[in-house]
Chain A
Amino acid sequence: MDYCLQLTQTSDLCRVRFPAMASTCEVIFDTTDSTLALALGQLVQAETQRIERHLSRYRDDNIIFQINNANGVAVVVDDETADMLDFAATLWQLSNGLFDITSGKLRAIWRFDGSDNVPEQAAIDTILPLIGWQKVQWQRPTLTLPAGMEIDLGGIGKEYAVDKAYDLVKSQFKDAFLVNFGGDLRVQGPRKNGHPWQVGIETVTDENNNNMQQQETIIDISNGGLATSGDSRRYLLKNNQRYSHILNPLTGWPVVSAPRSITTIAPTCVEAGLCSSLAMLMGIDAEAFLEEQNVTYWGIR
């Protein structure tokens, strides 16, 4: 059943849920004031929908569409988009090119549907020239993308929306709450009962004939962001080689020996999201990278 917004009240909590960003988005409030929860939930929904409208690459009426269809012409972007681009540029540099918002083009040839459809190198070679932030001219607020290239802020959009939702609620609600957009979350605690929020994540799997048995680990979290990268259901399997859906923009190929998933905790959801995605891009070095960075994480291999 389609719904716009769902409000649930329990004995000590209120929860608001709505669909957005291809996920179920929810905010849990440590209050029994359902009127307040509903009002704040509607604010969060409006803000989330605004961000989705603004930054989604699946629309034809926003700045991303303008940029991706500018055909080599410079586009002047708004402040929010400019901030995202500044952030993406910084991260591209910090990650030596592994985090690249122009890599979305690769999805045209890589379809992670569980099949064995691994593309030919020739196909990849036709796409690679259209990937690489270094080919982009970004002089805030003007972005010039070579014709045929595209940007996709999906890699940080949901985490960004979580943090914006958090800021919005925080500015108007003084008690504990949890923002959860499809597993990317940010919490404010501790709760009135003195306990931290408890979040369940998949941590351990046993692979028996591709049947996943998942075990849930409960994480106590009072403050900060949490994000998970990787999805055990999005992969290709050919000749017993498993191809994860994490693509290396430098080679055009899936990252070799990446973990199935990485969950990290950081002060904000954006940071948690970046740490987990970058770890995935490190492949075999994912855990070493996270250890080096002193990041709290849970990984599945």
Chain B
Amino acid sequence: MQLINKKLSFSASLALATSTLLGANTQVNAEEGWQADSAVLIYNENNGRVSAIEPAVNLRRTYEDESSINLRVVYDALTGASPNGAASASVAQTFTSASGSAAQTANAQAMTSSSGSTSRQVTPSPNVNTIVTHSYDDDDDDDEGEGHSTTYTIAPSDIPLDPSFEDSRTTVSLGWTKPLEDNYTVNLGGSYSTEGDFTSFSVNGAVAKDFNQKSTTLSAGLNLEFDTVTPNGGLPDPLTSYATRNTIGESDSKNVVDTIVGLTQVINRRWITQFNISLSQSSGHHSDPYKILTVADQGNLITDPENAGNYLYLFESRPDNRQKLSLYWQNKFAIMSNNVLDLSYRYMTDDWGINSHTVDATFHWQLSDSFYLEPHARYYEQTAADFYTPFLSLGDDVVINSGAITALVDYASSDPRLGAFSANTYGLKMGFPLSDTRELSLSVETYQQQDKNIRKEVAAGSHLDGQSQFAELSANWVQLGYSVRW
């Protein structure tokens, strides 16, 4: 028979066809069920700065038609000290904060999006439909804080940190995903976050369409965010005396519109790539109500003309609008049978003058059915915002005429998150799948910033001479996660 002539290829061809048949649609019929991911993250900045404990629970219900509902609740409890923005000097400085410190969610500075999530998609899914918001946050975004009125003195040469920082934040997010006809998938969601002086509400929607037998996915999404900041002690008047503390109201708001367009392409069985462009337009109040700047004359602290006995510090000021453009490219490579290399690069540029690059690499190394390791490395760098300065100079930035303080600049901030720096993150996650439905994981990460700012010259022997102009942040965190499906 002719068939026998094909004997060399027949068994192999049959095996190949069978593996295609049985393998190809394992994802087609989603199992109905629940998945719960829980995690506790303990975050600690070095040198007695912010500490945070963040428990998180993510609950997902998947239905037979592959639609799913996702509920996520995250609670942050933060304590510690945070830079107030004043420059360190060779003399002791005393601050009286009406409001407590700048709860700058310093944790967001170093933590990555990994917080709270313990499950990892080992197989790259071509259906990446969700809106990718800023998955990391080295650059500044949130200005929120709460504390108690307090007076504190900073020793000479120490970085001025407001020590009385205490805050808690609860975030609840709800999402719904449903596959529609003609390979469309729709995604709707919302999120609410609240803490003492800051609330944020957002809604998002996205549509994705699969092409070429699901090997190509195009998606478009929109996210609208409404923030309200209600600082303790009112909203300070920008670029006016910290000690005088003029206010311009009780609260203010900020609206953010994010649009994102993405393309996901399965290149072959071992490589999936994703490219996103997102545009973010933010308008409203961006200044951090708890951040101040030192005013120095030839490098020396000067007396506040409105408040004798106090050095002069001004509340910071930021533009009312910010536009950001992000390009994001992610690749996942399947290596051997169960290992995945995830490489991504992000470029972000905004009209404040900040340009950033992020390179991130994670390797999922499946050592056995019941153990995997995930080394993680990330490099980040950004340029400074145009209005970033470690302190203001009398004469150039600020003038004092007959006891009246006049700022010559419209915007100024010494927030380290707006400065130039690079940062390295190294981490290791250990995963212990206890069964096919339960997994325990532990990850540790360490983060270190390096100052990249051009040093501002000061007169020799002055208060600011030889002092640090940038508070480099270093932090460590540990996360314990447990996830279960049923």
Q: Which residues of A contact B (CB under 8 A)?
A: 47, 50, 78-80, 83-84, 86-87, 90-91, 94-96, 98, 140-141, 160, 163-164, 167, 171-172, 174, 267-268, 270-271, 274-275, 278, 282, 285, 288-289, 292-295
Contact = CB atoms under 8 A, between A and B. Distances in A.
Contact of A288 (B4, B13, B28): B4
Interface stretch (B16-24, B105-113, B305-313): B16-24
14 contacts: A79-B28, A79-B213, A83-B24, A83-B25, A160-B22, A174-B435, A267-B18, A270-B18, A271-B18, A282-B3, A289-B3, A289-B4, A293-B10, A293-B11
A223 B459 CA distance: 81
Contact of B21 (A86, A95, A275): A86
Nearest to A285: B1
Contact of B10 (A84, A94, A141, A164): A94
A91 B20 CA distance: 13
A164 B14 contact: no
A80 B27 CA distance: 10
Interface residues of B, number: 27
B29 interface: yes
Given A91-B14, A268-B18, A271-B14, 4 more contacts: A80-B25, A172-B437, A278-B3, A285-B1
A160 B18 CA distance: 9
Contact of A167 (B2, B3, B26): B26
B269 interface: no
B15 interface: yes
B120 interface: no
A79 B212 CA distance: 12
Contacts of A295: 11
A268 B22 contact: yes
Interface of B: 1-4, 6-7, 9-11, 13-15, 17-18, 20-22, 24-26, 28-29, 213-214, 435-437
A160 B25 CA distance: 12
Given A50-B29, A83-B20, A270-B22, A289 B13 contact: no
A87 B436 contact: no
A94 B6 contact: yes
A109 B326 CA distance: 67
Contact of A90 (B11, B13, B435): B13
A174 B29 CA distance: 22
A86 B24 CA distance: 11
A140 B10 CA distance: 23
A274 B28 contact: no
A83 B17 CA distance: 9
A277 to B, nearest CB: 11
Contacts of B7: 292-293
Contact of B22 (A78, A167, A278, A292): A167
B3 A95 contact: yes
A141 B214 CA distance: 12
